Structure 1
Amino acid sequence: MRPEGSSGTSGGELVVPMAWMYAEYIADELLRTGDLMPPTTLEFRAGRNALALTIFLSDGAVGGARVVARLDEWSSLTAAGRPWRRWVCSRLRRLAGDQEQGPDLEMARTAWRWLEETELLATDLEAVVPGGVDPRADEEDEPRVWTPAWELGLPLGHLAIHLF
């Protein structure tokens, strides 16, 4: 990371986005513990970014035993039918005026841009009829649709919280 600026506000030290990095670490651990998919996949990245945003924007990451205490809050924020996308946009706008968030906020914005701009090919859950899928059929026979990464990552993150 580059120093904050030449105005001397950083004391010549590197500015490290610790709050974001810690939120991302917690999200990564939750997903790895859930063992839902290999960590090298784009789906894993989508889940990690969605969870990290949730953790970071819900008033920051917390350490130790307090992580367990926050799981219910994060689960509620990521639950199906909740206005998660609107909540993320609102929180990012609110933090934009806070000068203390500097590199952390920039990392969060980068993660959000990736989640919004990246589309992943996923099973079209609206086209799948319960009991209508032949378990012997190839994956290629499943109806698929391009989905914004956040729409796939959010339920993965939610499930990872429940599996922790």
Structure 2
Amino acid sequence: MRPESTNGTSGGGLAVPMAWLCAEFLADQVLRTGGLVEPGSLEYRAGRETLALTVYLCGAEDCPASVLTASRLDEWLSVTAYGHPWQEWVRDRMAERESVDLPGTDPDLELARASWGWLERTELLAADLGDDADPWHPALPVDPAACENAQVWTPAWRLGLPLGHLAVHLY
């Protein structure tokens, strides 16, 4: 027998993480529309997870799947912009949500934790833009070919963040 509600409020029934699923759907929709990377690639997953976490922590409870407003997109652009302390922002927002959640009772938060864990643990090979370089406008060395070949391992969120930002901008 199915529970009376599908959002986890049916008193012990199946808890469906609707806010997280909505955030993932929106992130996927925005990334696919941008067409920046191949769906199914690790880069795509990094962008989708980063953007889904951003959408969720910006308040996906109201599930704006039908209408993406300009103010909602502006908020996502602001949070994912270069120079914004996104990693600290995520940690603070997660801590706020965890402080009001009993462990294991919020399926949305559980999926957000798993996503954040994957983004922090997984490293991807990416172009080395240097620690002081602006990734949007890196200064090219004398030999541009040397820049193209320089790669480093970086946490998935560091690659997903500019990808998500650009996808939102193109949306």
**If the length of structure 2 is used for normalisation, what is the TM-score?**
0.81
Distance of 1:58 and 1:88 partners within structure 2: 10
**Which amino acid in 2 is paired with 1:33?**
T
Aligned to 1:133: 144
Amino acid at match of 1:130: L
- Say which of 91, 94, 98 aligns to 1:92: 94
The one-character-per-residue Cα deviations of 1:107-135 (angstroms, maximum 9, x if unpaired) are 0000000000000001101287426314x
What is the one-letter code of the residue matched to 2:140? P
Which one of 145, 149, 152 corresponds to residue 145 of structure 1?
Answer: 152
**Structure 2: which amino acid aligns with 1:159?**
L
Between the aligned partners of 1:99 and 1:13, the Cα distance in structure 2 is 18
The alignment's C-alpha RMSD in Å is: 2.4
Name the count of aligned residue pairs: 153
- 1:120 equivalenced with 2:99 (yes/no): no
Q: What CA distance in whole angstroms lies between the structure 2 residues aligned with 1:21 and 1:59?
A: 13
Moved more, 121-130 or 30-39: 121-130
Identical pairs, percent: 54
Partners in 2 of 1:99 and 1:129 — Cα distance? 45
Q: How many Å separate the matches in 1 of 2:139 and 2:73?
A: 32
Deviation at 1:64, TM superposition (A): 2.2
Structure 1, unmatched stretches of 5+, are: 4-8
Instruction: Please report how far the alpha carbon of residue 81 of structure 1 lies from its aligned counterpart in structure 2 after TM superposition.
Output: 0.4
Q: Deviations over 1:60-106 (max 9, x none)?
A: 24232244430000000000000110000000011012338700000
The 4+ residue runs of structure 1 with deviation greater than 3 A are 9-12, 66-69
Distance 1:149 1:99 in 2: 27
**1:154 corresponds to 2:161:** yes
Cα distance in 1 between the residues matched to 2:65 and 2:36? 24
Structure-to-structure mapping, 1:10-25, within 5 angstroms: 10-25=10-25
One-letter amino acid of the counterpart of residue 145, structure 1: V
2:58 is aligned to 58
Tell me the equivalent position of 1:109. Answer: 113
> Once structures 1 and 2 are overlaid, which stretch shifts more, 90-99 or 25-34?
90-99
CA distance in 1, matches of 2:44, 2:73: 19
Any stretches of 5+ residues in structure 2 without a counterpart? Answer: 4-8
In structure 1, how many angstroms separate the alpha carbons of the residues matched to 2:68 and 2:168?
14
Distance 1:97 1:66 in 2: 29
Q: AA paired with 1:85? A: Q
